[in-house]
């Protein structure tokens, strides 16, 4: 059986079998669903970004340098941030904070990290600004970026009170904007940043206070997941000239922070679709550096340190959400035929039904005598008889007409049922007739190539529903909230051709708890995913990829499904075949190989039921005491035996301390 594999780099030879890894974790009592993090990937992505900018700097003869920063908001996970800071230490990679809690996280992570910058974004009050100024006294290179004019007086006052000389940046509202979901980030009506008039006022105010030398950074951001390189070029031209003008006005400029926006290819199309990019990381770096070089040379301004806030491009790839399929509802031809056979027995209509020839002769339903007499000559019987005639006469010459007739008769059957003129069995038979006819129509549509739009609609309507052990609202909220497309695929059985078209339904009691948009081709979003048929007593695991940013922290506890298990896995050289199983170490404790090619470094358990209940002010102890009292009353009344009550309480206690997802 072929399984999905993890590779730490595109060129790397060492791989980790994802299915075997999940199986190994389950044997360690780590339940699905789980998020598996691969820190090696983010190290590789950071190095790739640095290499791309280094290459662009050489190509264009750039006199400045590149220092990236990671936006903490993308993923606040402590171990992930520790890895980013550690990997980034040699290249002076910093952090960006957008709130007071994120500022404290960044300050603690960047201690003793010479050269790395801490970009302080977001709306600010006095406390935020004071903490950012204190960071400078602690040796952290914090830069306070003004988002609103109201923040400037607070900075001036706090710097005087704390006797701390600030380094200040301004966030500009560029006129350049893109049409994607995050396009509102820029433009005159943008939520963040200063207008051109306000930036000039900042310069004049700082000059009046003899603090113009404190203004050292320009920041702009035109939106996340920019699909086209032309927008990046346009924004960089505008931003680079704005930077130069600030320098020419006397500011001691030294940094240009071009924000985020470096996109990733969610759908694999390498196009300008909203779920992809029509450029590479190297294209991006080239255009950023080239624009700054051109503007600085034109206006005679010293070339600055370039920073980017590329969170999505760095951290999306480093985790995979693995979950299992619990059951399936299918609506294929075989199901339609079986339903028809069952519902045709004891039919209220005595007309003979001739099924299409592709069904085995032995499977054709036999005519039955009417069982119910109350509607024998009524509208319901007439409708069903006419409906059956559509099926009996359906062939290649009239399948389009048959489809439209079937839709009409199904609608009429529903209307008659609402009026009390159709029995439940008759309505079920009408639905079954409709399904059999539609599957025949689909067959003829495939053979003739006609009815393309209607055929696609039919295919979607007959897609299976795979019920998955997952909460969309907890683990992939962007799929629900903004129809974000994520690549999803099985992590095993990859040597078998998948033949089932399906949508995914989660555990929540909510109609929005589903995934019904998937990467399509070309440049489209597909409504179904092609998966394997479920095997009896065989687990079926799916992996959801590129969800390493935003999803976990934005997830909600809808239906009180808690956080998932998180596992940190690092690739290791495989041991020789005859080596003992497990991790082998040198005397100094340094790991040198692992039998499985990886090491499981951390397992962070997902929330249990009692932990989730506490988040909504329910105390597990009080609840158990209430339930115990109810059980005691039942014992006293004789409705429960003492043994039954004890078993009940034992099961309730076990549930209280168990994972919120289903056992598999």
β-partners of residue 505 are 467, 514
Q: What is the CATH number of domain 62-309?
A: 3.20.20.10
**Which residues, in sequence order, are CB contacts of 272 under 8 Å at separation 6+?**
227, 228, 278, 523
Instruction: Map out the domains of the chain as residue ranges.
Output: 62-309, 333-461, 618-656
Q: What is the pLDDT of residue 591?
A: 40
Bond prior to 522 in cis (omega within 30° of 0) = yes
Structural class in CATH, domain 333-461: mainly alpha
* Mean pLDDT over each residue of the chain, to the nearest integer: 89
Q: Is the pLDDT of residue 398 over 70?
A: yes
pLDDT tens readout for residues 368-383: 344 444 444 478 888 9
CB 340 within 8 A of CB 365: yes
pLDDT tens readout for residues 428-449: 999 999 999 999 999 999 899 8
Backbone phi, then psi, for 236, in 5-degree steps? -65, -35
pLDDT tens readout for residues 274-287: 889 999 999 999 99
β-partners of residue 317 are none
CB 527 within 8 A of CB 478: no
Beta strands in 271-345 (DSSP E): 305-307, 319-329
Q: Which two tokens stand for residue 366?
A: 């036999």
pLDDT tens readout for residues 144-179: 999 999 999 999 999 999 999 999 999 999 998 766
Count other Cβ atoms within 10 Å, centred on residue 101.
11
- Average of per-residue pLDDT across 452-476: 92
pTM: predicted TM-score of the whole model, two decimal places = 0.88
Q: What is the pLDDT of residue 596?
A: 64
pLDDT band at residue 347 using 50, 70 and 90 as cut-offs: low
CB 407 within 8 A of CB 433: no
CB 295 within 8 A of CB 208: no
DSSP at 532: P
Give one DSSP letter per residue of 563-598, joined into a string.
PPEEEEEEE-PBPPTTSPSSEEE-TT--EEEETTSE
């Amino acid at each position: 059986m072929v399984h999905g594999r993890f590779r730490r780099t595109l060129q790397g030879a060492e791989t980790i079998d994802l299915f075997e890894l999940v199986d190994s974790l389950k044997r360690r009592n780590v339940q699905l669903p789980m998020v598996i993090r691969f820190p090696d990937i983010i190290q590789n992505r950071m190095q790739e970004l640095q290499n791309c900018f280094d290459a662009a700097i050489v190509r264009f003869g750039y006199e400045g340098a590149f220092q990236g920063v990671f936006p903490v908001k993308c993923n606040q996970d402590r171990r992930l941030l520790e890895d980013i800071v550690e990997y980034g230490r040699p290249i002076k990679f910093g952090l960006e904070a957008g709130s007071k809690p994120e500022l404290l996280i960044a300050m603690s992570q960047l201690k003793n990290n010479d050269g790395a910058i801490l970009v302080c974004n977001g709306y600010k009050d006095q406390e935020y600004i004071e903490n950012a100024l204190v960071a400078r006294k602690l040796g952290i290179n914090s830069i306070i970026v003004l988002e609103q004019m109201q923040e400037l007086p607070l900075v001036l006052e706090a710097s005087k009170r704390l006797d701390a000389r600030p380094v200040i940046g301004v966030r500009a509202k560029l006129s350049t904007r893109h049409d994607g979901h995050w396009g509102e980030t820029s433009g005159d009506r943008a939520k963040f940043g200063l207008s051109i008039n306000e930036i000039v006022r900042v310069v004049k105010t700082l000059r009046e206070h003899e603090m113009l030398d404190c203004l050292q950074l320009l920041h702009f951001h035109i939106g996340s997941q920019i699909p086209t390189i032309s927008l990046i070029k346009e924004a960089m031209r505008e931003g680079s000239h704005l930077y130069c003008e600030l320098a020419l006005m006397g500011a001691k400029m030294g940094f240009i922070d071009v924000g985020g926006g470096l996109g990733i290819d969610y759908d694999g199309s390498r196009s300008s679709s909203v779920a992809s990019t029509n450029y590479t990381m190297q294209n991006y770096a080239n255009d950023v550096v080239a624009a700054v070089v051109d503007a600085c040379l034109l206006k005679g301004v010293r070339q600055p340190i370039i920073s980017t806030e590329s969170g999505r491009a760095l951290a999306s790839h480093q985790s995979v959400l693995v979950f299992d399929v619990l059951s399936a509802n299918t609506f294929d031809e075989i199901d339609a035929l079986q339903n028809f056979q069952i519902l045709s027995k004891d039919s209220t209509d005595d007309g003979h039904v001739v099924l299409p020839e592709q069904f085995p002769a032995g499977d054709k339903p036999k005519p039955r005598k009417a069982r119910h007499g109350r509607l024998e000559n009524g509208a319901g019987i007439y409708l069903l008889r006419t409906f059956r005639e559509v099926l009996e006469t359906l062939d290649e010459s009239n399948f389009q007409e048959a489809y439209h007739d079937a839709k009409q008769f199904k609608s009429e059957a529903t209307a008659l049922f609402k009026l009390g003129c159709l029995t439940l069995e008759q309505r079920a038979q009408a639905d079954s007739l409709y399904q059999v006819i539609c599957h025949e129509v689909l067959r003829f549509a495939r053979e003739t190539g006609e009815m393309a739009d209607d055929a696609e609609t039919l295919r979607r309507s007959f897609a299976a529903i795979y019920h998955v052990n997952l909460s969309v609202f907890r683990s992939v909220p962007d799929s629900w909230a903004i129809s974000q497309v994520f690549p999803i695929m099985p992590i095993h059985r990859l040597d078998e051709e998948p033949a089932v078209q399906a949508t995914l339904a989660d555990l929540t009691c909510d109609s929005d708890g589903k995934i019904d948009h998937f990467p399509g081709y070309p440049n489209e979003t597909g409504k179904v995913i092609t998966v394997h048929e479920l095997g009896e007593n065989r687990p079926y695991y799916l992996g959801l990829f590129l969800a390493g940013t935003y999803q976990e922290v934005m997830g909600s506890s809808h239906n009180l499904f808690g956080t998932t298990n998180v596992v940190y896995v690092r690739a290791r050289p495989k041991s020789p075949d005859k080596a003992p199983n497990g991790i082998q170490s040198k005397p100094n404790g340094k790991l040198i190989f692992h039998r499985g090619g990886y090491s499981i470094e951390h397992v962070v358990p997902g929330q249990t039921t009692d932990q989730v209940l506490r988040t909504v002010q329910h105390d597990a102890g009080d609840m158990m005491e209430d339930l115990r009292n109810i059980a005691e009353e039942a014992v006293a009344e004789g409705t429960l035996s003492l043994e039954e009550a004890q078993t009940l309480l034992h099961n309730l206690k076990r549930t209280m301390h168990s994972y919120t997802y289903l056992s598999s």
